[in-house]
Structures are given as C-alpha cells and as structure tokens.
C-alpha cells in the first residue's frame, strides 16, 4: 500500500519539476477505504510525512494535518473512475497559461492521446474548493485522464503516483510546446483517425511482441 512517505516523495518530485511552487496544487493516492492527500497551506519544502491527511470517501478526516481545500475533487475522481489510483493537481506555468485562455489542448501532437483522449479539455471555471469546481472537473475529464481547469491549472490521474506524476509532466510539456507553436503560427492538428491510431498504440506500448 502507498504510504505517506510515497506521497511526500511524489509531491517533492512535482515541485522539483516546476509544476507546483509554494503551497499551490495538491496530490493524493487512493487507499482501501478512502485516500491520502497532501495538506493545505504547507509549502512542499516544509512538508513531512505526518502532514499527509487521510480522508474517508465521505470526507471525514482520519488523521494528518489540515486537509486541502480541493479534497472534493480527489474524492469525486476516485468515485467516478475505478482506474484512478493517484491524482496530481498542479498550477504549472504553461498548463495554467493555456487554461487562462479557457481553451482545450487540441491534437497538435500524438502524445496528447497519452491521456486517453484526442484532446485535453478545459473545465469550466468555478471557485476553488467548491463542489461546483469538482463537478466541472469530472465533466471535463470524461474519457480522458487529464484536464485543464479554467484560470486555475491542470489535473491528471493515473494508476499509481509514478504514473500520475509522469502524466502531469507530459501535459505541462505539451502545453508549452503548443503555446510555442501558437506563437509561431497555426499548428496543424491531427485527424480523429490519426489520434485513434496513436491512442490504440499507447494501449499496447511496452507489451511483449509489440511493434512499438
């Protein structure tokens, strides 16, 4: 089972990658009877394992520090998506910049499909820490494992902390590349068929006898 030490290590990795700074963003990992989430208002450099907050799915706190204001999003993602084992919410520079435009990340690169869909949608704006924001995120995720959050940042989930952290880094790099391409001109978007082929190959990536 994932421990508080694992969650703390993942939070530090996300911070070192430049995806979060200060007290921004939050991470969590699913437990058998709830989830473990990073605390509110504690800079990642000052976090210790004992700060990690254990919550039941009804929001009742079992232990740890002060729960993140975004705990509802984490609870609802775990409830909605059985394959969600860990979540990264970040206020990373390029994802946040694109989210401030309230635009989706379109299929300008086949790696957009790594999140499971042909585009990464931008959730409608809602005040942070509210159920309305959580509802908007669930809607935007749909069949994808990543979304942008209007005027806010990004959220991704994966089967494990390692997978979720890696996807968050990928999304940030893709947003950077897309904004660079936009500054230079109009990026040529891949077709639905091209994206479907890429997504299918991601499902087989790394498997024995794969032709990747």
For residues 84 and 155, is the Cβ–Cβ distance under 8 A? Answer: no
Phi, psi of 76 (to 5 degrees): -70, -35
For residues 199 and 118, is the Cβ–Cβ distance under 8 A? Answer: yes
State the pairing for strand pair 122-123/146-149.
Answer: parallel
197 is a catalytic site residue = no
Active-site option among 70, 132, 139, 172: 70
Cα angle: 98, vertex 17, 175; to 5 degrees: 20
- Sign of the dihedral through C-alpha 78, 86, 25, 7: positive
For residues 40 and 69, is the Cβ–Cβ distance under 8 A? Answer: yes
For residues 83 and 133, is the Cβ–Cβ distance under 8 A? Answer: no
For residues 152 and 124, is the Cβ–Cβ distance under 8 A? Answer: no
- Residues annotated as part of the active site: 70
């Amino acid at each position: 089972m994932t421990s508080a030490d694992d969650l703390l290590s993942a939070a530090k990795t996300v911070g070192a990658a430049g995806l979060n700074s200060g007290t921004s963003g939050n991470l969590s990992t699913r437990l058998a009877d709830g989830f473990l989430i990073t605390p509110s208002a504690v800079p990642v450099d000052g976090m210790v394992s004992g700060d990690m907050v254990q919550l039941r799915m009804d929001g009742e706190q079992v232990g740890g520090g002060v729960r993140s204001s975004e705990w509802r999003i984490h609870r609802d993602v775990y409830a909605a998506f059985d394959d969600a084992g860990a979540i990264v919410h970040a206020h990373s520079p390029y994802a946040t910049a694109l989210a401030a435009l309230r635009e989706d990340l379109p299929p300008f690169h086949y790696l957009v499909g790594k999140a499971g869909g042909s585009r990464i949608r931008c959730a409608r704006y809602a005040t942070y820490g509210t159920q309305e924001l959580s509802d908007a995120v669930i809607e935007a995720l749909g069949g994808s494992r990543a979304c942008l959050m209007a005027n806010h940042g990004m959220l991704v989930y994966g089967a494990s902390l390692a997978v979720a952290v890696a996807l968050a880094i990928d999304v940030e790099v893709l947003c950077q590349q897309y904004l660079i391409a936009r500054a230079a001109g109009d990026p040529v978007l891949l077709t639905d068929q091209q994206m479907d082929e890429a997504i299918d190959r991601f499902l087989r990536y790394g498997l024995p006898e794969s032709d990747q």
